[in-house]
Structure 1
Amino acid sequence: MSHLLIDAGNTRLKWRVVEASGAPAEGVGCPGDADLFSGIAPGAVDRISISTVTSEVARQALHQELASRFGVTPAFYWAQAEQCGVRCAYQHPETMGADRWHAMIGAWTECRQPLLVVDAGSALTLDLLDAHGQHLGGYILPGHRLMRESLEDKTARVFFGKSLSLDTSPGLSTGECVRHGLSWLWSSVIDRIEAMRTTYGFETVFVTGGDGEDLIRLGLEGQWRPSLVLDGLGIVVHREATE
């Protein structure tokens, strides 16, 4: 039998099936896609664990879909005051996004030294950990898609592509001005991250999220971990099972 791990974001859902033997299988798609779990046999899953930042309505819909498809009641995992060597800086840890929490646990378990986690999804989040696993706080910024959609929604007669440009020079058309401008903003974030290295003493930067590779291509020096949230969630549930 298998354990299904799920990272359910606002725009993408990633899953991993972990079996007692053999390499894990992974998949990704949009929430609600009819074929999102088509690669998993209905009777092959006996446990489901989820990290999610979706709305309560979306969470309930996912709960019902999984229970109906696999006949298993899924368990949702949230941020804690302290877990797997990581201590949350929030006074109310339950208000932290579960994806950020599990990404930090995944990163901390891998290197156990001062680090920064950058998650470039619908939002761009940055979280700092010190040499003792203490969360020092973080930042939440609109991600590339949110910034682009804001311009699309609030302006007229502005047409531009959806992909992130790697060119930060002044644009020579409206579309270029938008694409290059968004990349210019992200390059400024990268500059701020580099300046933070000395202040906070971290050398390791873990990068995850749908736009994470574009940040690296723009110049961010970091280690690409596309499944970092699933890694952390897997660590949490394994620790729970062995305690």
Structure 2
Amino acid sequence: MILLIDWGNTHLKFIEVDSLELPLLYQSKIYQVENVDELSKRLMAKNYEQVLVSSVRVTEDNQLLELLLKEKSTQVFFAKTAHSACGVKCAYAAPELLGIDRWLAILAAHDPKETVGVISLGTAITLDIVKPKAHVGGHILPGKRLLLSSLNTTGQVRPDLTVQKNYHAFQLGGSTTECVHNGIETLIHCYLNSVLEHYHIENSVKRWLLIGGGGKYWSNKFSSDLVKTEYCPYLVFDGLIRLYLE
């Protein structure tokens, strides 16, 4: 058994597979925990032939994870961003500054025949354009959670950030909470709509792969005859396998 881990800013996701064949990956279940302690409880007495890791966490978090994983396997691989991999050149002059989750998604999204866009909608919103053999560059901006928290001030009138309901872009709010949530929905909607249109014209991007907690939600809103959006929850795991096998 092989363990694949994607530890992002908010959640730690993992998959157990019998082999590193990509078709098998896409048939596997993605599990999610909050931290290393929860992962330890979930893995319990299990051992693995190999463990492959993508982590954007700080050194201390990665050291804790590595201590756990070395009890589970003699082969533990932590992926790192490089100047090039899997036939793709990184756009960053200092590739170590490009988040490994973005790099792995880029490697998995790469198509030798067309330019592809990748958008992650999580704690941060990131965008990357990948043409044949080269990462062109990208964006990083606050995600919905960060935008909401930025408005949770110490003033007398504060939005309720715990409310769980459907909010709508361009709809006018009748309370501070609705105004904040609808405003952020509108902001993200306008950003996505603008970049999909702009890079379709500027870079001929016709296909966008969306990942992250908001990937499925937003992928359903923007597909058209000219631009296709697809939710791809396995994309980082896919890139992790490709990088390891290179």
Pairwise same-fold verdict (TM > 0.5)? yes
Contact 2:222 2:229 in 1 (8 A): no
Identify the range of structure 1 (5-14 vs 72-81) with the bigger mean alpha-carbon deviation.
Answer: 72-81
Q: Which residue of 2 aligns with 1:227?
A: 234
Q: Which residue of 1 aligns with 2:30?
A: 26
Label 1:56 to 1:197 Cα distance change in 2 as closer, same or farther (>3 A). same
Distance 2:103 2:143 in 1: 18
Contact 1:18 1:25 in 2 (8 A): no
Quote the offset at 1:120 in angstroms: 0.8
Quote the offset at 1:192 in angstroms: 1.6
Structure 1 unmatched runs, 5+ = none
Distance 2:214 2:121 in 1: 5
Q: 5 Å matches for 1:1-243? A: 2-20=1-19, 24-32=28-36, 34=38, 38=42, 40=43, 42-68=45-71, 70-72=72-74, 74-108=76-110, 112-130=113-131, 132-153=132-153, 155-160=155-160, 161=163, 165-193=167-195, 194-219=197-222, 221-239=228-246
Quote the offset at 1:33 in angstroms: 5.0
Contact 2:51 2:73 in 1 (8 A): no
SS in 2 for 1:172: coil
Contact 2:219 2:229 in 1 (8 A): yes
- Matched residues, percent identical? 28
Quote the offset at 1:202 in angstroms: 1.1
Q: What is the CA deviation profile of residues 6-30 of structure 1, one whole-angstrom value per residue up to 9, with x for unaligned ones?
A: 1110101111122139754431221
Quote the offset at 1:195 in angstroms: 2.1
Quote the offset at 1:36 in angstroms: 6.6
TM-score by length of 2: 0.86
Structure 2 unmatched runs, 5+ = none
Alpha-carbon RMSD across the aligned residues, in angstroms, is: 2.3
Quote the offset at 1:179 in angstroms: 0.6
Corresponding pairs, count: 234
